[in-house]
Amino acid sequence: MLFVEETIGVTDAARKPQRRAEPLPECAVRYAEERHWDVFPGTWLEAAEGEENCSCGRPDCPSPGAHPTRPDWATQATGSGAAARRLWSKQPRASILLPTGRTFDALDVPESAGFLALARMERMNLTLGPVTRTPDRRMLFFVLPGGAVRADDLVRNVGWSPSSIDLVARGEGHYVAAPPTRIGRGGAVQWARQPTPANRWLPDAEELMCPLVYACGQEAVAERERRT
């Protein structure tokens, strides 16, 4: 087992006992050394008057505790374990952010659609990479870099309009928060499928698009029915 962060979900692959998360600095180093992912430290949560607020100081922060601290964050990202250790030694509570568009892209969907898609993918015996689940009820599927720029065309190929479903492709210029980063009051980012030696080789976005679009389409239809 590569990481010990909490893994949750409803599929067989995600039914694992909950275990205590490793400290953020150690996880950042592991991501760099064992997965060869670039990492960079973001903001963190600070307790004040019984509440936890983002270290950026904005009371209306849209992503409290999990966004870059500087505009040139892309140049700060490193794939060196030693460099990651130095960065987090300055602020051990800093969130772990991973730039997309380098070693992976991410397909970001609602949690309900993500679990439906994950179950279908497993029944189809598709090769899957790591999958995260965020406190704001999103799931992110890691795919080969370059998939994000083709996402809209891939959605159309399945027969849907990209604007009609809630599927966000994150590639170059974007980033994702990695477990066990905590975001706001919702809790920590967790693994729905952990990174292991078995899923070191990521799938192409095209391989996952059909079940993801199907699940997002079902979510869109259900949402329309709830509104009527």
Domain assignment of residue 55, yes or no: yes
User: Number of folded domains in the chain?
Assistant: 1
Cα dihedral angle (62, 52, 28, 80), rounded to 10 degrees?
Answer: 70
Share of the chain above pLDDT 70, in %: 91
Residues linked to residue 190 through DSSP beta bridges, in sequence order: 133
Question: How high is the pLDDT of residue 21?
Answer: 67
Residue 119 domain-assigned (yes or no): yes
| Distance from C-alpha of 69 to C-alpha of 58, rounded to nearest angstrom | 12
Domain extent for 72: 12-227
CA distance 75 to 211: 35
For residue 92, being part of any structural domain is answered with yes
Please give the distance of CA 119 from its chain centroid, rounded to a whole number. Answer: 18
**Residue at 2 is within a domain:** no
Predicted pLDDT of residue 85: 98
Determine the pLDDT at residue 224.
82
Tell me the pTM.
0.90
Q: What is the pLDDT of residue 50?
A: 79
Residue 100, in any domain of the structure: yes
In a domain, 62, yes or no: yes
Q: Determine, yes or no, domain membership for 4.
A: no
Name the stretches of the chain with pLDDT < 70.
1-21
The DSSP bridge partners found for residue 68 are: 42
Peptide bond into 64 cis (omega under 30): no
